[in-house]
């Protein structure tokens, strides 16, 4: 994995040599602005559906090992 | 609580999170929860199911712009969202959609404090530590409730312009009432719709450099905020005086014990690897959006403060109390506008003084009662003040009337009539009582005649008792002196 | 009609016959459902007879009249397991359906099955699936391409008339080329991404894999459109016209030097088919000339920074908390994250997550992610400049024909270089189609295998692109079928 990553990085590093200081980085592909949604409620999932895929559902919640453990 | 900082100056900045009063979450159409059962307001988006995408709540944007304008900020002509990446069970996407180097608003001011930035982001879910009862494989468990996850937040960061803990508390109260006036949030610290962290450092008085700062988190009341900051300032001063360095760390203040403990923060030394959120497009508030937001702003506390002082002549301390508490200010204005002869300064005096004190007494242990929720209507207090100013009742009698109003409501004039509290305006009656006072205490009378004015006390007291406080103290003194032949 | 005859029909032809009452959608569905899948193209398949039960309303109504459709397992389908080719989502059943899938099933399509794919769409050979590689119906010892390898193989082998796939750096076009079918990546934003499991958000697009250009147009027409659940979607203004062009007169075609037949690594056979195709363009009246896309030679470098960076964030949600796999032996939270992701993700996915995390990390962001996004801006500019002189650009889709299974798995970089003709198009967000240009042998000899030709056009000009591609397709007249067609020997 290590050598593969190094090889890839070497190739990718080629772009370092380009002088692109005057160029704007692309941050958004579509030329859209202000796409918003009205503050109107949409139906939520019934709780059983929300918990169905859970690996460890418990009392209506998603149980996980405690971060402080 | 002024800081005795031993030649050091406090440098305090605040970082505030406000939950917005929208109907739905920041990036999906789930409704906001108010103490509902866990996980009843979730969907593929706020549960971060594979393939889900965020969509921006337009009302959250409107509130964000209004808050930015109310804080005197420049609204960015174009701002974007960023992903803030870290792992934690309350963060379902393992990134928070927030704003990074191009926030919604910047460079504002509220009162004496400059605002560094205002931006939009989403709240995390709620983690409930189950502890003993949830043992799995021998370790403790936590439960995650995603109802709160995705609630719209506005984050406000100030410059470190505050210089003591009390000022921090007062400024936060001003911020709270400003946002409350806009209607953007309940801004309730106990409920979590207003959260405040403080960045605290000290430096030698007069120095321009900044010392190492610590962060105080999770102070959930104004009092705790003030006490926590004060405790931290004192701790830092003690360290510096002992020649010890101040660690940059995050601390938790326990108000019961008054101690500060370092938090093993999930964010220590974290690289959030911010990058622009590709699933959302930039926000470029149009002229229309800005004007609409601005037009919808009500008179804000800072503006009220100015108006109360300059137009109504209310002294600063009282003006602050009335302006910073939106409801109290509204109450005050209603009283001023009630069509009585009462002066604005008089009303201000009574509202911020006796009324507030009486209501606090009546509320007792349970906390605050707001004037607007009390039985004393603005009309009633205005009428009472007018009566006092017209000397129809003495101030003391007025306080008795107020006490009755607090308990039963009603009209001051009726209470005065019923209880017989009207000032004695018939000087004949008063003259008679004064004479009786002099007769009852010849020793005191003699002393007064001889020029010892301190001895007038018992005589005045006699008259006041007899008249049940309905005589004007100044008038009584004048009559005593006259009857004793002094003037 | 026999099963063989049914599955040889293009979607458009089948539609015509269904509408004319000559065949029923149900019998067409059952014919496809009965074809043996010896290519591991499907991860889940509907039973014959299931036509009316899955993914759509009752009856074979709507413009797609009950036509069966294969769907890449990257699209969430409510009630049907969706894995994205990964162990970490094994058994995951989405509570919702992707908008693109919903649109086509609302239009009448019926889901035949979920096709195999490179894990989380990361790959060019479909060898990165947690559920085994897909085989190429032209030669089962070879790859079908990726990441939409299952969809491409299914369409080429008569296991589906058409399929949905996704393309991030070439994942529709390249497998289409290697399997001898048509694959279209539309303009970024033409089709909703809601419900499409994300790999690289600013690059991923849904698109059709079909037997003919007309079929691609038919499917695109139903797929495209603004979705209020996807803020980056705009649809195609004016919709999609079905193609009808008979020649290429008056159209100017540019051949980018950097991506053309003289570029490094192009097999002789591919070059030959490509040049023959260029002659055909001229015969049809098209004008040909050379052009330059100077920054396209950096496309792979930029892509393999941007895509993994976005992927590292998009795949962070697979943490075992709310759905999918959770390692049962984890003792604490960190262990849960590490073991779940360590066991749930394959090597290529891990590689890209690491690359991506590195590219975004403090101190490296500007040099990697920032710089890559600047290269991307220049690549887009190069295309825009080229489109001032040309209506279309044309390149080979892939530098080689289908390669042998396992021949590039030891060298990820060699695998990445498969994409260098397709990746610049993705970075620019513009549409491109791959159509079969002919057959050729690989360098070093072997069976004759399909060669794809890529035609590229400016943003949101899909109707024109399909029109030109149609004329070329008709002139080329590629009608070969793989030996593995219909489940036969290959």
- In angstroms, the separation between the Cα of residue B139 and the nearest Cα of chain C is 7
Residues of C designated as active site: 72, 147, 171
User: pLDDT per residue over B73-115, tens digit each?
Assistant: 999 999 999 999 999 999 999 999 999 999 999 999 999 999 9
Which of the other chains make 3 or more beta carbon contacts under 8 angstroms with chain C? A, B
Q: Which helix (H) or strand (E) holds B177?
A: helix B165-182
- Provide the pLDDT confidence category of residue C135 given band limits of 50, 70 and 90: very high
* Mean pLDDT calculated for residue range C14-28: 94
* Residues of A with Cβ-Cβ distance to B42 under 8 angstroms: 44-45, 47, 50
| B42–A67 CB contact, under 8 Å | no
Cα within 13 Å of Cα(C451), Cβ side: 28
Range 213-252 of C in CB contact (< 8 A) with B: 228-232
Q: Which residue matches tokens 């701002």?
A: B79
Span of A9-23, C126-140, C451-465 with lowest mean pLDDT:
A9-23
Average pLDDT for chain C: 95
CATH class of the domain whose range is C3-299+372-487: alpha beta
Percentage above 90 pLDDT, chain C = 90
* Residues of C with Cβ-Cβ distance to A14 under 8 angstroms: 298, 301
User: pLDDT per residue over B168-198, tens digit each?
Assistant: 999 999 999 999 999 999 999 999 999 999 9
* Residues of B with Cβ-Cβ distance to C362 under 8 angstroms: 271, 273
User: pLDDT per residue over B261-279, tens digit each?
Assistant: 888 655 455 899 999 999 9
- Provide the pLDDT confidence category of residue C489 given band limits of 50, 70 and 90: low
Q: Which two tokens stand for residue B284?
A: 């470029």
Higher pLDDT, B226 or B3: B226
Span of B299-308, C44-53, C432-441 with lowest mean pLDDT:
C44-53
The pTM assigned to this predicted structure is 0.90
* Mean pLDDT calculated for residue range C413-441: 95
| A41–B31 CB contact, under 8 Å | yes
- In angstroms, the separation between the Cα of residue A69 and the nearest Cα of chain C is 7
State residue C55's pLDDT score. 44
User: pLDDT per residue over B191-229, tens digit each?
Assistant: 999 999 999 999 998 889 999 999 999 788 999 999 999
* Mean pLDDT calculated for residue range A6-23: 88
State residue B364's pLDDT score. 73
Using CA atoms, how far apart are residues C346 and C335, in angstroms rounded to an integer? Answer: 18
ipTM above 0.90, yes or no: yes
- Does residue B87 sit at the C interface (CB-CB below 8 Å)? yes
Is residue B134 scored above 50 in pLDDT? no
- Provide the pLDDT confidence category of residue B1 given band limits of 50, 70 and 90: very low
| A58–B134 CB contact, under 8 Å | yes
Using CA atoms, how far apart are residues C333 and C285, in angstroms rounded to an integer? Answer: 66
- Does residue A29 sit at the C interface (CB-CB below 8 Å)? yes
Using CA atoms, how far apart are residues B223 and B173, in angstroms rounded to an integer? Answer: 11
Which of C326, C374, C413 has the CB atom closest to A25's CB atom? Answer: C374
Residues B81 and B97 sit within 8 Å (Cβ to Cβ):
yes
What is the DSSP code (8-state) at residue B193? S
Domains and CATH numbers, chain B: 8-295 (no CATH), 301-419 (no CATH), 427-483 (1.10.10)
State residue B431's pLDDT score. 86
| A65–B139 CB contact, under 8 Å | yes
The 10 Å Cβ neighbour count of residue C474 is 16
- In angstroms, the separation between the Cα of residue C322 and the nearest Cα of chain B is 7
Which of the other chains make 3 or more beta carbon contacts under 8 angstroms with chain B? A, C
Is residue B446 scored above 50 in pLDDT? yes
With residues binned 3-state (H G I as helix, E B as strand, rest as coil), the percentages for chain A, rounded to 5, are 30, 15, 55
User: pLDDT per residue over B344-396, tens digit each?
Assistant: 999 999 999 999 898 888 877 666 678 888 899 999 999 999 999 998 888 88
* Residue C389 CA: distances (Å) to CA of B72, B344, C386: 50, 77, 6
Percentage above 70 pLDDT, chain C = 97
What is the DSSP code (8-state) at residue B79? B
| C194–B278 CB contact, under 8 Å | no
State residue B139's pLDDT score. 54
Percentage above 90 pLDDT, chain B = 64
- Inter-chain contacts counted by CB atoms under 8 A, chains A and C: 122
State residue B108's pLDDT score. 97
Within its chain, how far is the Cα of B258 from the centroid?
A: 22
In the three-class reduction of DSSP (H, G, I as helix; E, B as strand; rest coil), residue C277 is classed as: helix
State residue C51's pLDDT score. 64
* Residues of B with Cβ-Cβ distance to C360 under 8 angstroms: 85, 273-275
Using CA atoms, how far apart are residues B146 and B92, in angstroms rounded to an integer? Answer: 9
- Inter-chain contacts counted by CB atoms under 8 A, chains B and C: 104
- CA-nearest residue to B60 within chain A is A39
* Residues of A with Cβ-Cβ distance to C333 under 8 angstroms: 64-67, 69
User: pLDDT per residue over C24-64, tens digit each?
Assistant: 999 999 999 999 999 999 999 999 887 655 444 434 579 99
* Residues of C with Cβ-Cβ distance to B95 under 8 angstroms: 313, 316
* Mean pLDDT calculated for residue range C107-123: 97
- In angstroms, the separation between the Cα of residue A17 and the nearest Cα of chain B is 23
Average pLDDT for chain B: 90
* Residues of C with Cβ-Cβ distance to B51 under 8 angstroms: 75-76, 94, 98, 193-198
- In angstroms, the separation between the Cα of residue B147 and the nearest Cα of chain A is 10
Peptide bond into B431 cis (omega under 30): no
Which of A33, A43, A45 has the CB atom closest to B282's CB atom? Answer: A33
- In angstroms, the separation between the Cα of residue B37 and the nearest Cα of chain A is 8
Packing angle of the helix pair B473-483, B456-466 (nearest 10 deg)? 120
| A11–C300 CB contact, under 8 Å | yes
| B52–C332 CB contact, under 8 Å | no
The full set of domain ranges for chain C reads 3-299+372-487
Beta bridge partners of C184: C433
B208-231 burial by CB neighbour count: b if 16+ within 10 A, else e?
eeebebbbbbebeebebbbbbbbb
């Amino acid at each position: 994995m290590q050598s593969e990553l190094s090889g890839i990085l070497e190739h990718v590093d080629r772009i370092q040599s380009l002088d692109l200081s005057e160029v704007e980085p692309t941050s958004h592909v579509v030329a859209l602005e202000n796409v918003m949604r009205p503050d109107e409620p949409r139906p939520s999932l019934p709780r059983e559906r929300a918990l169905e895929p859970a690996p460890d559902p418990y009392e209506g919640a998603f149980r996980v090992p405690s971060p402080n453990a | 609580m002024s800081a005795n900082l031993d030649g050091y100056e406090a440098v305090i900045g605040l970082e505030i999170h406000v939950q917005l009063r929208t109907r739905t979450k920041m990036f999906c159409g789930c409704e906001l929860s108010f103490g509902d059962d866990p996980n009843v307001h979730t969907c593929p988006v706020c549960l971060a199911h594979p393939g889900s995408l965020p969509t921006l709540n337009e009302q959250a944007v409107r509130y964000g712009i209004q808050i930015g304008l109310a804080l005197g900020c420049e609204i960015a002509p174009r701002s974007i969202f960023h992903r803030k990446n870290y792992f934690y069970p309350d963060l379902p996407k393992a990134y928070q959609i927030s704003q990074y180097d191009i926030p919604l608003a910047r460079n504002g001011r509220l009162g004496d404090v400059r605002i560094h930035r205002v931006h939009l982001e989403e709240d995390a879910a709620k983690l409930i530590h189950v502890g003993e009862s949830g043992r799995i494989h021998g370790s403790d468990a936590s439960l995650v409730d995603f109802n709160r996850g995705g609630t719209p937040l506005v984050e406000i960061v100030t410059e470190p312009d505050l210089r003591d803990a009390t000022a921090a508390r007062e400024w936060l109260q001003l911020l709270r009432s400003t946002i409350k006036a806009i209607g953007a949030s309940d801004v309730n610290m106990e409920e979590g719709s207003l959260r405040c962290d403080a960045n605290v450092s000290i430096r030698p008085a007069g120095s321009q450099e900044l010392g190492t700062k610590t962060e105080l988190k999770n102070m959930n009341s104004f009092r705790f905020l003030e006490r926590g900051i004060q405790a931290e300032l004192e701790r830092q001063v003690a360290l510096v005086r002992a020649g010890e360095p101040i660690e940059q760390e995050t601390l938790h203040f326990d108000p019961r014990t008054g101690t500060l403990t370092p938090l093993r923060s999930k964010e220590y030394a974290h690289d959030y690897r911010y990058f622009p959120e590709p699933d959302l497009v930039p926000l470029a508030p149009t002229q229309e959006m800005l004007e609409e937001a601005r037009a919808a702003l009500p008179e804000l506390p800072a503006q009220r403060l100015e108006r109360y002082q300059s137009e109504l002549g209310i002294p600063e301390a009282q003006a602050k109390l009335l302006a910073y508490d939106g409801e109290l200010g509204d109450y005050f204005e209603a009283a001023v506008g009630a069509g009585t002869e009462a002066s604005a300064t008089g009303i201000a005096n009574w509202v911020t003084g006796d009324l507030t004190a009486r209501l606090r007494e009546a509320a007792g242990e349970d906390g605050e009662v707001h004037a607007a929720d009390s039985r004393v209507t603005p009309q009633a207090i205005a009428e009472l003040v007018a009566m006092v100013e017209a000397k129809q009742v003495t101030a003391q009698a007025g306080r008795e009337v107020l006490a009755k109003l607090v308990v039963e409501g009603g009209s001051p004039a009726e209470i005065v009539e019923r209880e017989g509290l009207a000032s004695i305006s018939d000087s004949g009656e008063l003259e008679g009582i004064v004479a009786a006072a002099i007769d009852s205490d010849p020793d005191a009378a003699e002393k007064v005649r001889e020029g010892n004015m301190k001895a007038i006390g018992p005589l005045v007291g006699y008259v006041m008792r007899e008249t049940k406080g309905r005589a004007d103290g100044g008038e009584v003194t004048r009559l005593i002196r006259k009857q004793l032949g002094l003037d | 009609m026999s099963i063989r005859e049914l599955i040889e029909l293009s979607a458009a032809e089948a539609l015509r016959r269904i509408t004319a009452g000559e065949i029923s959608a149900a019998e067409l569905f059952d014919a496809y459902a009965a074809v043996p899948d010896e290519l591991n193209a499907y991860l889940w398949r509907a039973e014959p007879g299931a036509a009316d039960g899955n993914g759509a309303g009752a009856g074979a109504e709507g413009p797609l009249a009950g036509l069966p459709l294969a769907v890449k397992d990257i699209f969430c389908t409510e009630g049907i397991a969706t894995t994205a080719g990964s162990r970490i989502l094994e058994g995951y059943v989405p509570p919702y359906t992707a908008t693109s899938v919903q649109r086509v099933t609302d239009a009448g399509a019926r889901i035949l099955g979920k096709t195999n794919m490179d894990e989380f769409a990361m790959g060019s050979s479909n060898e990165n699936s947690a559920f085994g590689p897909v085989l190429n119906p032209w030669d089962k010892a070879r790859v079908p391409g990726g990441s939409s390898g299952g969809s491409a193989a299914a369409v080429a082998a008569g296991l589906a008339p058409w399929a949905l796939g996704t393309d991030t750096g070439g994942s529709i076009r390249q497998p289409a080329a290697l399997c001898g079918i048509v694959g279209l990546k539309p303009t970024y934003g033409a089709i909703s991404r809601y419900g499409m499991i994300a790999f690289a958000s600013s690059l991923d697009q849904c698109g059709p894999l079909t037997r003919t250009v007309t079929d691609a147009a038919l499917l695109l027409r139903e797929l495209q459109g603004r979705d209020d659940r996807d803020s980056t979607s705009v649809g195609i203004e004016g919709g999609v016209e079905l193609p009808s062009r008979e020649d290429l007169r008056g159209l100017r075609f540019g051949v980018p030097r950097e991506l053309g037949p003289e570029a490094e690594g192009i097999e002789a056979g591919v070059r030959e088919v490509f040049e023959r195709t260029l002659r055909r363009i001229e015969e049809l009246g098209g004008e040909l000339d050379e052009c330059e896309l100077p920054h396209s030679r950096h496309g792979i470098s930029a892509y393999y920074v941007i895509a993994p960076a976005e992927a590292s964030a998009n795949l962070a949600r697979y943490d075992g908390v709310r759905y999918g796999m959770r390692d049962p032996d984890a003792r604490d939270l960190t262990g849960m994250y590490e073991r779940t992701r360590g066991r749930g993700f394959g090597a290529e996915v891990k590689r890209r997550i690491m690359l991506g995390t590195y590219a975004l990390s403090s101190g490296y962001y500007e040099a990697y992610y920032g710089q890559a996004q600047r290269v991307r801006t220049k690549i887009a500019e190069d295309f825009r400049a080229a489109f001032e002189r040309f209506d279309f650009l044309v390149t080979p889709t892939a530098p080689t024909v289908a390669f042998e299974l396992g021949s590039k798995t030891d060298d990820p970089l060699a695998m990445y270089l498969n994409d260098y003709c397709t990746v610049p198009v993705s970075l620019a967000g513009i549409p491109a189609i791959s159509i079969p240009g002919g057959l050729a042998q690989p360098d070093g000899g072997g069976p004759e295998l399909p060669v794809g030709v890529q035609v590229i056009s400016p943003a949101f000009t899909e109707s024109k692109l399909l029109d030109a591609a149609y004329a070329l397709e008709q002139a080329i007249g590629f009608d070969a079928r793989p030996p593995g067609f219909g489940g036969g020997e290959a």
